[in-house]
Amino acid sequence: MTGVDDYPFPLPHPTYRISANVEPAGVERRTEAGSWGARILHDGPDRPAVAAERASILDRESARFVAAPHARASCWDACLYLLGRLATEQPGTCTLTRVPGRAGGWRFRDTATGTDREFVFGDDATLPEHPLRWVSRLVAEDVVVLGARGEALWLDAGAVAFASVWSIGFDAGMSFRELHGPVPGNGPGGVFERAECFLLRLHPGEAYRRLNWGLQPDDRRDLSLDAAPQWQPARTRLDLTDPGRQIHLRTEVQHLVRLPLTGAVLFLIGIRLLPLDGVAQVPAWRTRLASVLETLPPEVTEYKELEPLASNAAGWLRAQP
């Protein structure tokens, strides 16, 4: 589990504000407890374990991976981008090199996951499975490819094991605006319409990030609709005997990258969890989270399904010395 010192605390204000909160990726952000964000991909020692958990879910439930046939080129683009990012950001364990004398040939090695593979870019036969599915085994983040067509973005492909109350199988093929239809504040000219315009105007290779957040009564990463029978009963019962350890702040570190070869948008979602005990270690976070939970607009509380969890969390935080 992520420690306090590198946790991406998502609340900069004492009241909730609807905002795209988009900023350049790969820039270190200082917090009251330390810093985060110097790299795009999660590089903690738990990367292999989290990647293995994702792979286990994806192997067990085929509906968690989708890929439209027309997205093959953008999926290869995403695959090579992620391999290059791993090699750049985690040179102690990962390398990506050209294979001499083999047109389009590459070799990727990752000692942390035990991966050593030669492949030819664009040649499906040189990988054991779909390129996006294969590369998704190596990262802690869920991976989505948004195709750009007709001044709009469309969900063309994805390997998603840790969705936050949504399903990649249900959402596949939707437009960017359809995907965000239920979100408060998503009217004509709203924040998500502006966000789509922004993404469509990114230059190839440009990367930005944003944070999203919620609360949950446990440390489960997989909150997809596919797995609702496993996690929904705990939310309904809300049997809280030790809120400080049970209730977790769930932060999604979302990265948006304009892929360099096809112009598709790569959407990465990293889940970071911190129990209230951890939040309470940082006085500014303890006060701010309690204040935000106490002043949430009703439509946001309903959309995020935060009650009665929010009231319990705010009360526990306020009671800490």
Residue-wise pLDDT for 250-264, tens only, equals: 999 999 999 999 999
Q: What is the pTM of this model?
A: 0.94
Q: State the average pLDDT over residues 275-279.
A: 98
Q: Is residue 81 over pLDDT 80? A: yes
105-110 vs 94-98, strand pairing mode: antiparallel
Q: Which of 213, 184, 209 lies closest to 22 in space, CA to CA?
A: 209
User: Which range, 20-24, 153-157, 298-302, has the best average confidence (pLDDT)?
Assistant: 153-157
Q: Is residue 192 over pLDDT 90? A: no
Q: Is residue 174 over pLDDT 80? A: yes
Q: Is residue 17 over pLDDT 80? A: no
Q: What are the pLDDT digits (tens) for 126-143?
A: 999 999 999 999 999 999
Q: Is residue 2 over pLDDT 80? A: no
Cα–Cα dist 209/266, whole Å: 11
Q: Is residue 55 over pLDDT 70? A: yes
Q: Contact at 8 Å (CB) between 96 and 83?
A: yes
Q: State the average pLDDT over residues 286-312.
A: 92
CA distances from 150 to 117, 175, 177 (A): 36, 11, 13
Mean pLDDT of the chain: 93
Confidence of residue 1 (pLDDT cuts 50, 70, 90): very low
Residues designated as active site: 210
258: β partners = 265
Q: Contact at 8 Å (CB) between 145 and 156?
A: yes
Question: Which pLDDT value is given to residue 231?
Answer: 94
215: β partners = 249
Residue 56: partners with Cβ closer than 8 Å, 6 or more residues away: none
